[in-house]
Structure formats: structure tokens, C-alpha cells
Amino acid sequence: MTNTTSRFTSSPRQRRRFGLSAAGLAGASDSDIGWILAHGRQKGRAGRGARHKGLGFAPLSALVLALAASASFAADTDEDVFDLQNLSVKIAEDLPYIEMPHGGGTVTVLRYQDPSHRIVPPYDKTGRPCPPYCVQPMQIAPGVETIGELEMLDYMQRIADGDPSVLLIDSRTAEWVARGTIPGAVNIPYKRLDPAFASPEQITELLTLEFGAASADGIWSFDAVKTLVFFCNGAWCGQSPTNIKALLGFGYPAHRIKWYRGGMQAWESLGLTTVRPADS
């Protein structure tokens, strides 16, 4: 794990943010490595060093601080300390957590450890009018793979390992994304690929600069395009399906498109880490 040490615990204000006193810092030792502080009470936007759901490694010389912004999205909990090497709620038996680049820092992606935690609005809601919030099919289009959380985390790990051929895309509009997103995701709202809202020049720029397509004399080549992993709010959300169908219409290869159908509602239901958008 990357050692970013005491940069985020150097001031009294920052120490208070993570529930750390000067005396506590002085008394900490290298034996504390691997412990994380879960600070669930979020009051406003997190500081510059804090970017994920109130989670970070406890301090001192050999300690890592991997913090990201909390989404107002998680229920408040009491401060507590967890051992990263002995989490009570793992992602999978052999996968306690992963570390993900986000907003110039590193986010520890893991499941919420508080057994009393419950899904919070808006993802606790089950009754939404259809249309527009209609249940999507399991297969959105021939050749497009529908994936679950573990496959999603595999793609996230590839991104964390420096694989430039994978792009994680949050298809939702800005007001939804502001409530929290999956670490490492870039926001490409469905309207950016819709000719009703975006110009041909804007769509061409997105296809070439972001996705790796090439165009010459009006002929498109998708030989070197990225694998795009889409998600939105959940199985009732049509924003990712709209993006996917638009891309297929442009000729994007279906096998390079993945769809996390469960989206944010499924992600939140498992207590997995969410973050504020990297540019917020």
C-alpha cells in the first residue's frame, strides 16, 4: 500500500477531523499499521486530504492515510477503529478491500463495517414511477456483458494497476453524481452522446479523445477503443442504457462495453465506498 503518512494529520484542525488528539498522535506506534479510522459524522464537505466515505488509515510515521470525501449518502456512525487485515465485513472471502486512485489521491474501497448501517436516501426508495424509471432487462444489447460487483471491482483494480484501456463511466446527470459516485469513475452524462443534446463535433471529440476511436475521411475505426464500464442509479435507471445504445449505434464494438446493471443502489446496498466527484 502506498505510504502517504502524516501529510493529512499535521495540523490540529486535521487531527480533530479524524478524531485524533496531539496526545494520541504522540502515543501511536508502528504497531498501529493497518488500522483504519472510520469517521462517520460528516459535517459539510471533507477537507483537501479527505476524499472517501470517512475512511482512512490511522496515523503516524509508518501509517497510511487513504481518505476520500464522504457522500452525505452514508448514515452517521460513531467513530470506531478497524483492522484492515481482519475486517469483519469483507467484500469477498479473499478480498477485504481494494485501493483506487481518485481525484489525485487514493481511496480504500471496502464495505461499511457498522452492522447497524442502513441504506440511506435516495437508494432506500423502491417505488418510482415508470416511465421513466422502468426496470431494465438483464441483457441490454447483444454482445454487451452485464456485470456484478466483483467484476466491477476487477475492472477497478485494472484501472488502479495503471491499465489505460479501461474507463469507468458514471452515466448520470450532475445532480445525481454530486450525491456520491464509485471511486475512479468519470462522469459522462447520457446527453453527451445523444445527438439531440450534443453536436456532431462534441460527440466526435468524446469518441476520439476519451474512448480511443479514430476517424479519417468520415470512416470510423474502433480497433483500439477502450473497454467502457457503465453504471448509473440501478436496475430502474435508463441513463447507462441510453449511453450504451448510442455507442452501439455509432458502431462501437459491443464486446468493449460492460454494464453494471445494479448501479448505485446495489453498490450502496452492500455498503461499498462512495466518493464525491473528483472535481467537486
Indicate which CATH number applies to the domain containing 254.
Answer: 3.40.250.10
Q: SS3 of 103, please?
A: coil
Q: Where are the alpha helices (DSSP H) in the chain?
A: 12-17, 22-27, 149-160, 174-177, 200-205, 239-250, 263-269
Is residue 188 pLDDT above 80, yes or no? yes
Query: What is the pLDDT, as a whole number, of residue 40?
Result: 33
- Give the pLDDT band of residue 274 (cuts 50, 70, 90): very high
Is residue 38 pLDDT above 70, yes or no? no
Give the tens place of pLDDT for each residue, 130-156: 999 999 999 999 999 999 999 999 999
This prediction's pTM: 0.73
Is residue 75 pLDDT above 70, yes or no? no
Query: What is the pLDDT, as a whole number, of residue 140?
Result: 97
Q: Where are the beta strands (DSSP E) in the chain?
A: 35-38, 55-57, 80-83, 98-102, 105-109, 145-147, 166-170, 186-187, 214-216, 219-221, 227-231, 257-260
Looking at the structure, tell me whether residues 239 and 149 fall in a common domain.
yes
Looking at the structure, tell me whether residues 104 and 189 fall in a common domain.
no
Give me the mean pLDDT over the 9-15 stretch.
25
Looking at the structure, tell me whether residues 158 and 95 fall in a common domain.
no
Query: What is the pLDDT, as a whole number, of residue 148?
Result: 98
Q: Is 61 a member of any domain?
A: yes
Looking at per-residue pLDDT, the higher value among 68 and 231 belongs to 231
In total, how many domains does the chain have?
2
Looking at the structure, tell me whether residues 184 and 78 fall in a common domain.
no
Query: What is the pLDDT, as a whole number, of residue 81?
Result: 60
Give me the mean pLDDT over the 244-268 stretch.
97
Q: Is 215 a member of any domain?
A: yes
Q: Where are the beta strands (DSSP E) in 23-158?
A: 35-38, 55-57, 80-83, 98-102, 105-109, 145-147
Query: What is the pLDDT, as a whole number, of residue 226?
Result: 98
Our measurement of the distance from residue 1's CA atom to the centroid of its chain's CA atoms, rounded to an integer in Å, reads 19
Mean pLDDT of the chain: 76
Q: Is 117 a member of any domain?
A: no
Looking at the structure, tell me whether residues 76 and 167 fall in a common domain.
no
Give me the mean pLDDT over the 77-106 stretch.
82
Looking at the structure, tell me whether residues 153 and 95 fall in a common domain.
no
Location of C-alpha cell 453524481: 177
User: Which residues are paired to 92 by β-bridges?
Assistant: 95
User: Which residues are paired to 167 by β-bridges?
Assistant: 228
| Count of alpha carbons within 13 angstroms of residue 232, beta-carbon side | 21
Looking at per-residue pLDDT, the higher value among 103 and 79 belongs to 103
Among the ranges given (82-91, 179-188, 233-242), the one the predictor scored with the smallest mean pLDDT = 82-91
Strands 98-102 and 105-109, sheet pairing:
antiparallel
User: Which residues are paired to 105 by β-bridges?
Assistant: 102
Nearest to 93 by CA among 111, 72, 71, 75: 111
Measured CA to CA, the distance from residue 19 to residue 63 in angstroms comes to 16
Measured CA to CA, the distance from residue 211 to residue 203 in angstroms comes to 11
Measured CA to CA, the distance from residue 192 to residue 252 in angstroms comes to 15
Give me the mean pLDDT over the 5-34 stretch.
29
Q: Is 133 a member of any domain?
A: no
Is residue 57 pLDDT above 50, yes or no? no
Looking at the structure, tell me whether residues 254 and 158 fall in a common domain.
yes
- Asked if 85 and 70 touch (Cβ cutoff 8 Å), the reply is no
Is residue 116 pLDDT above 50, yes or no? yes
Report phi then psi at 106, rounded to 5. -125, 135
> Domain of 192?
145-269
34 φ/ψ sector (left φ>0, alpha ψ -120 to 50, else beta): left
Is residue 59 pLDDT above 90, yes or no? no
Query: What is the pLDDT, as a whole number, of residue 165?
Result: 98
Is residue 206 pLDDT above 70, yes or no? yes
Q: For residue 26, what is its C-alpha cell? A: 504522540
Is residue 179 pLDDT above 60, yes or no? yes
Q: For residue 102, what is its C-alpha cell? A: 481518485
Q: Is 151 a member of any domain?
A: yes
